[in-house]
Structure 1
Amino acid sequence: MIEIERLTKRYGATTAVDQLTFTVRPGTVTGFLGPNGAGKSTTLRMILGLNTPTEGSVTVDGVPFAGRPRGLRHVGALLDAGDVHGGRSAKAHLSALARSNRIPLGRVDEVLAEVGLGKAAGRRIGGYSLGMKQRLGIAGALLGDPPVLLFDEPLNGLDPEGVLWVRGLFRRLADEGRTVFVSSHMMAEMEHTADRLVVIGRGRLIADESLAEFSARNARSSVAVRAPELSLLVDALRAEGAEVDLMEPQFAIVTGMAAERIGELAHRHKVVLHELASRTSSLESAFMSLTADSIEYPAGEAR
């Protein structure tokens, strides 16, 4: 379990993380979401003791991680897949980690096989693709068989097969009772991966809830309506409290009313419908809307 209490990190006049409080529990895959620059990486580094908080506290299973000897047995982490010595082989890299954490060297071959790098174990990492480096980083996180695992943008560079494999891996790790914390700036990834979401923006907590709760609260339902004489229906829809966004003279998006009720009103007012289709906004669009005010460099913004 990871427990974060009023966690704050300042760099001079800049506040990267601002009074964060949340708990990452075992047995679930928790997605850590936010736009680029939201403070996700800084938070992960404070969890691992790589950065010192300005205020607040963070513990892993009740203890600050920096105070644990042989850390890979307690927490496995992938922060930057490219932060490895390109001249070493994958096996040499993991063997060095194993020795420094008193992990049996036999474990190196096990995790390399698990991530699909068994045949490439002797190759220099400098010749690896980004996807292969991601797999190597995941192997390093798994090396100590830890109860807590942190992953920062783990799907970068993976092909579709690799993405499916990682999703299955996270599910298995959570089902084994481990704490799995996955950072990303893409809601579309977490929609298929996470059970629970922690969303931050500009270092502040925006949401901390299950994926189902986030979906119910933020995904917006609407109905597309197309009719040759749509104007005859619009007043009736608005009179009953529906919100009508007239896109074209014969086409509108209606919110606040079910398609069945719209059809009943159309029948009552003798309006012929050419289209009546329920729509639900994607979680990606809901996430973008929720974090719109937290984007550090919005596209199209004047400099």
Structure 2
Amino acid sequence: MPRRGPPGSVDLVIEATELTRRYGRTLAVDRLTFTVRPGVVTGFLGPNGAGKTTTLRMVLGLNRPTSGTVTVDGRPFAGLPRGLRHVGALLDAHDVHGGRTARAHLAALAAGNGLPRGRVAEVLAEVGLADAAGRRIDGFSLGMKQRLGIAAALLGDPPVLLFDEPLNGLDPEGVRWVRGLFGRLADEGRTVLVSSHLMREMEQTAEELIVIGRGRLIAAGSLRDFAAGGTPPRVAVRTPDADALVAALTGEGATVRAEDDGSYTVTGLTADRIGDLAFTHRARLYELGPRAASLEEAFMALTEDSVEYATEAAR
């Protein structure tokens, strides 16, 4: 169940229906249908060129769909007055006027959206830029620009937030902070959509996933279901008699991969069958059980046919 926000909050969903965008002969987004619900962090994943940024731009009304629709709370974003009160977004941290100070940049956004000027200081403090408020943006590092972009997204205290690659340029402390921020925003009942290529971070941040490739929907659902469904069942094995057992397993047609921690991952045989073979070949077992696939492994398995530029090693 999605978590509800504080009193006065409004649960808004993002809904795309047969969303399509063409650029000449190039089909960037192809009949994409999905729903982003409140109360959870939803990861938006796909290989380079999959159409993620184009989709986010259509949500925000920056690109018009060739066909299909995308709405926030049942309406196109362009029809929402004072947009920052409804949807906050970070698409490109570099898309700011470098000659302005951080304070002036946010003050201009606040004025244009009818927001109280006091919000500027609040969001600068929230993202850790209070001491840099008077500095010109062209002197900011990429990580600082990312924080400023997040501050702009938070400025209107919106119920819907979109972030495109928000972790680029952040140091480990910044990554931990962003991870906690997204979780808190979702806990407040907001709708949070995060586009990222960092699989390990999405594994620790997202609860729901939308995965696209070549503009088409590949998968949508919970992180757990995605990881489980993206790769065949695997078994973790740990044994001091590896030579004998590995030979027996491969002889039965299994694939065996040695892991850095000294264990083995076996694909193609059940745990029961592995146990029988270990008994037959007098191989001691210190561990025998299911091994969950990582998000990265599941992602690579599901998107291998949707990569725009594949190397020979990946074919």
- TM-score, normalised by the number of residues in structure 1: 0.89
Match for residue 234 of structure 2? 221
2:256 and 2:147 mapped to 1: Cα distance?
A: 49
Matched-pair contact (CA < 8 Å) for 2:254–2:269: no
Letter in 2 for 1:222: V
* 1:234 to 1:142, Cα distance in 2 relative to 1, 3 A: closer
Structure 1 residue corresponding to 2:46, chosen from 34, 38, 43: 34
DSSP-derived class of the 1:185 partner:
coil
- Which range moved further: 281-290 or 175-184? 281-290
Letter in 2 for 1:156: N
Letter in 2 for 1:199: V
* 1:233 to 1:9, Cα distance in 2 relative to 1, 3 A: same
1:270 and 1:153 mapped to 2: Cα distance?
A: 51
Per-residue CA distance 1:188-220 (angstroms, 9 max, x = gap): 221011110000000000001011111221254
| Within-5 A mapping of 1:160-179 | 160-179=172-191
1:197 and 1:26 mapped to 2: Cα distance?
A: 13
Match for residue 133 of structure 2? 121
1:246 and 1:212 mapped to 2: Cα distance?
A: 24
2:297 and 2:246 mapped to 1: Cα distance?
A: 29
Query: Gapped runs of 5+ residues in structure 1?
Result: none
- Which range moved further: 192-201 or 292-301? 292-301
Match for residue 89 of structure 2? 77
DSSP-derived class of the 2:217 partner:
strand
Q: Does 1:91 align with 2:138?
A: no
2:246 and 2:39 mapped to 1: Cα distance?
A: 53
Q: Does 1:132 align with 2:144?
A: yes
- Which structure 1 residue ranges, 4+ long, deviate > 6 Å from structure 2? none
1:145 and 1:32 mapped to 2: Cα distance?
A: 22
2:243 and 2:144 mapped to 1: Cα distance?
A: 56
Match for residue 271 of structure 1? 282
Per-residue CA distance 1:84-117 (angstroms, 9 max, x = gap): 0111100000000000001000000000000000
Letter in 2 for 1:215: A
Query: Gapped runs of 5+ residues in structure 2?
Result: 1-12
Letter in 2 for 1:68: L
- TM-score, normalised by the number of residues in structure 2: 0.86
Matched-pair contact (CA < 8 Å) for 1:259–1:276: no
**Length, aligned pairs only:** 294
* 1:86 to 1:296, Cα distance in 2 relative to 1, 3 A: same
- Which range moved further: 213-222 or 226-235? 226-235
2:267 and 2:307 mapped to 1: Cα distance?
A: 27
| Within-5 A mapping of 1:273-292 | 273=284, 279-292=291-304
Match for residue 209 of structure 2? 197
1:234 and 1:133 mapped to 2: Cα distance?
A: 52
* 1:101 to 1:291, Cα distance in 2 relative to 1, 3 A: same
* 1:275 to 1:133, Cα distance in 2 relative to 1, 3 A: same
- Which range moved further: 47-56 or 210-219? 210-219
2:216 and 2:169 mapped to 1: Cα distance?
A: 28
2:264 and 2:179 mapped to 1: Cα distance?
A: 38
Shift of 1:265: 3.0
Match for residue 245 of structure 1? 255
Matched-pair contact (CA < 8 Å) for 1:149–1:179: yes
